[in-house]
Amino acid sequence: MKNISVFVSGNGSNIENIQKYIISRKLSDPDRLDSIQIKMVFTDNKNAYALSRCERLGIPNHIFNMESMNNGELLDKMIDEGIDFVVLSGFLKLVHKDIIEYFDGKIINIHPALLPKYGGQGMYGMNVHRKVMENKESYSGISIHYVNEKYDDGDIVIQQRQKINVGDTPEILANKIHALEYLWYPVVIYSLCSKI
């Protein structure tokens, strides 16, 4: 059993999606050797809706501040919880280098665009989709990538494209991109966890 942690700052819809995928895998084969579980959700936002999701799903959570990330307390907590793999999902801050080094090759993020385009500080959520539409791109998509000490800069694991149709709005594009996230993120998480 691999213990994953999910870092969020807001809605946390991918938490629910990952949890459903885990349950479906267990139901299809209860004796799987590559099982994973969301051991804990970490957030820097005490008002994150993700906390309500955790309560409903029975997933433990931990609220932290950036000081505890920077002084090593958060990493100690992750080690104490036996975390094997780290998933960022709408987490808006840079992860401290000590956590990145400890989980080298075991910490990933999902970005709602085809990196290296539309990445970097401030490029998240609707900000990305509006910019993509303003620039009249033919395609957008998702990028799942390893995390390093810069925003959206780590090596890419996988990208999936989404065609932008005439008449699409940023809101329509956001829904299409969310569908790609829900389809691919759990699959990639399982695949990577099976190799550690």
One-letter identity of residue 32 = R
- Across the range 21-31, mean pLDDT stands at 78
Domains of the chain: residue spans and CATH: 2-193 (3.40.50.170)
Query: Residues with catalytic annotation?
Result: 111
**Distance, CA of 194 to chain centre:** 18
> Which tokens belong to 194?
């099976």
Secondary structure (3-state) at 173: helix
| pTM summary value | 0.93
Rounded mean pLDDT of the chain? 94
> Which tokens belong to 164?
């932008």
Reported as a single tens digit per residue, the pLDDT across 55-80 is 999 999 999 999 999 999 999 999 99
Whole-angstrom Cα distance, residue 128 to residue 134? Answer: 10
5's CB contacts (< 8 A; 6+ apart) are 38, 39, 40, 41, 42, 78, 81, 83, 85, 86, 87
The answer, yes or no, to whether residue 26 has pLDDT greater than 80, is no
